[in-house]
Amino acid sequence: MKLKTGIGLALCIVLIAAGISFWLQKNQQIDKIENIQYGDKLEQKLDIYMPQRIPIGKKLPVILYVHGGGWTGGNKENVAEKPNFFIKKGYVFISINHRLSPKATYEEMASDVALAIKWVDSHAGEYQLDRRKINLMGHSAGGHLIMLVGTNPKYLQKAGLSPQSIHSIVNLEGPVDLVEFIQWLGSYKKVFGADPKVWKQASPLAYAAEKNLPPMLLVTRRAASVAGFVKRTQLAGNRVEVFESKTLTHSEVTKLLGDSHASGEAKEMTSAVETFLKDKN
């Protein structure tokens, strides 16, 4: 009788502990630390979203997010439900601002992203961040910038970092072939100029054959637009996955990622991103 009572008591303790763990995960309290300067330029600021309580000695993987806005606008506040979602999954979420056109060139914007990565690497100990697991995520223009930093080694080198500083990349509808993109949307000549040679240099596609690139997930509404990049990077031995959306708009790709109320393809997209990151972290 005592044995059965002991087993029952132990089972109750396990169930209670599991329930508390589940409750804590679902009701994780979030700290937001705003407007940390990561460089000496006014625009070079970042916000950190992180759990209020992190166990002593625990280091969390990072998602460094770069907003969209056509290289001329946007803001680090444009994160929708992503911080809440990813913090519950065990990440620290960092969203950055960077310099914008026409005051800055695309190269200066990419350098800002690399500098933000450098900041995370240098300050990892202060915030219990795992500097070995810095994952980049960006939407639209931000997706282009993270892909450029992740494929063209000069930006990380300039920041004093190695290519291994980036653990993985999630590109949400960021163009990888600027030649095709600007021919399609000529208004962006105001950012990249009128010279197709410059467009090519600004294209992650130009560096797709680099060896040892970080694993990448490309979320796109037009798989054909990334097919050339995928082929080149896979031939070089790199790992790249594609999630093609057929129903979401350009803005919904970022707005609905991590939204607990989303359904259909938006829910499938979130699952694909979550699975990709979980596999890499």
Is residue 209 assigned to a domain?
yes
pLDDT at residue 104, as a whole number: 98
Find the CATH number of the domain harbouring 90.
3.40.50.1820
The pLDDT tens digits for 110-140 are: 999 999 999 999 999 999 999 999 999 999 9
The pLDDT tens digits for 16-34 are: 344 434 433 444 588 999 9
Q: What is the 3-state secondary structure (H, E, C) of 143-189?
A: HHHHHHHHHCCHHHHHCCCCHHHCCEEEEECCCCCHHHHHHHCHHHH
- Report the distance separating Cα 52 and Cα 30, nearest Å: 5
pLDDT at residue 29, as a whole number: 81
Q: How many percent of the chain have pLDDT more than 90? A: 89
- Report the distance separating Cα 70 and Cα 171, nearest Å: 15
Is residue 22 assigned to a domain?
no
Is residue 3 assigned to a domain?
no
Whether 8 shows a pLDDT value over 60: the answer reads: no
Is residue 1 assigned to a domain?
no
Beta strand pairing status for 45-51 and 30-37? antiparallel
- Report the distance separating Cα 92 and Cα 78, nearest Å: 16
Whether 187 shows a pLDDT value over 60: the answer reads: yes
- Residue 137's domain comprises 30-280
- For the chain, the domain total comes to 1
Once rounded to an integer, what is the mean pLDDT over residues 251-257? 98
Predicted confidence band of residue 262 (pLDDT cuts 50, 70, 90): very high
Whether 9 shows a pLDDT value over 60: the answer reads: no
Q: Pull the structure tokens for residue 17.
A: 């502990």
What average pLDDT is seen over the chain? 92
pLDDT at residue 216, as a whole number: 98
Once rounded to an integer, what is the mean pLDDT over residues 129-156? 98
Is residue 158 assigned to a domain?
yes
- Residue bearing the bigger pLDDT, 4 or 271: 271
User: Of 5-19, 136-150, 211-225, where does mean pLDDT reach its minimum?
Assistant: 5-19
H helix or E strand, kind and range, residue 200: helix 196-201
| Long-range contacts of 266-271, Cβ-Cβ distance < 8 Å, separation of 24 or more | 268/243, 269/219, 269/243, 269/245, 270/85
pLDDT at residue 130, as a whole number: 98
Once rounded to an integer, what is the mean pLDDT over residues 198-217? 98
Is residue 238 assigned to a domain?
yes
Is residue 6 assigned to a domain?
no
Q: Pull the structure tokens for residue 219.
A: 């979320």
Are the C-beta atoms of 46 and 95 separated by less than 8 Å? yes
Whether 14 shows a pLDDT value over 90: the answer reads: no
Are the C-beta atoms of 97 and 44 separated by less than 8 Å? yes
Is residue 275 assigned to a domain?
yes
Q: How many percent of the chain have pLDDT more than 70? A: 90
Tell me the backbone φ, ψ of residue 19, rounded to 5 degrees: -65, -40
